Amino acid sequence: MTNNKKKQAPEPSAGFYFWQNPVIKTKYKGLKNILMTKTIIGLVGEKGSGKGTVSDYLIQHYGAEHFGTSKILKRTVSDLHLPLTRDNFIKLALVLKEGFGSSVVIDSLIQDIESKSQSNLVIADGIRMHDDVRPFQAKYGANFQLIYVTADMKLRYERTKLRKEKDGEDKMTWQGFIAEEARLTEVAIHEVGLQADYTINNDDGPQELEAQIKEVMTKILK
């Protein structure tokens, strides 16, 4: 997508401001989730594609709330005193799915969203496989929209080394990065992304990324 004309982000809805009132929050906390229809933005994307940047933009400009599987997995990995690496998160998720069913992590994420979210726009981060999408579709129907964030592999490698988000990322070699990309769990991300409702290609600079986000959100919130 190319769009050099800068557009203003849509203002949050009147309903969003209504529920920010402290009196309303306290008095009608339980009623809120019944009356307010949530739009769930699912994010799927390869390592270093820019999901975090997209998420931050949605939080800042659209009043979205972020919920992710990494927080759920991080708590357990941390309690086990294991390194907080992407590899350990994936291993734990696979073990949990094997023992408790393929949707166990996503079901937990949905429960967090239902019990804790205060916005009518929610980001669901950490979708990796087809089984991760189905629970959202079953729960939210058309109110669930999946966005695939992707970028050139070499560019993603360079971003990953710079961000140092997880242990050992800054030391990863290009060959090691290619080997990780060939894993079935990583290939699945691309396959799920091809089925997404919208695709954002993050090969260019911040302005182009911002333009694509605005274009996608205009369609979702119409």
So what's the pLDDT on residue 214? 97
How far is 190 from 192, CA to CA, in rounded Å? 5
So what's the pLDDT on residue 2? 46
- List 42's β-bridge partners, or say none: 124, 146
So what's the pLDDT on residue 45? 96
In a domain, 14, yes or no: no
In a domain, 137, yes or no: yes
pTM of structure: 0.79
162-to-48, 156, 159, 171 alpha-carbon distances in Å: 10, 10, 5, 10
In a domain, 1, yes or no: no
Handedness of CA 105, 107, 112, 113 (dihedral sign): positive
In a domain, 9, yes or no: no
Question: Degrees (nearest 5) of the Cα angle 46, 50, 52?
Answer: 105
What CATH number did the domain enclosing 162 receive? 3.40.50.300
Per-10-residue mean pLDDT of the chain, 222 residues long, equals 52 60 58 68 96 96 95 90 87 89 92 94 94 95 97 94 73 89 90 96 95 97 88
Max Cα-Cα span within the chain: 56
In a domain, 2, yes or no: no
In a domain, 11, yes or no: no
So what's the pLDDT on residue 36? 62
So what's the pLDDT on residue 183? 87
In a domain, 152, yes or no: yes
How many separate domains does the chain show? 1
Domain ranges, residue 123: 23-220
Residue 199 tokens, joined:
């695709």
In a domain, 15, yes or no: no
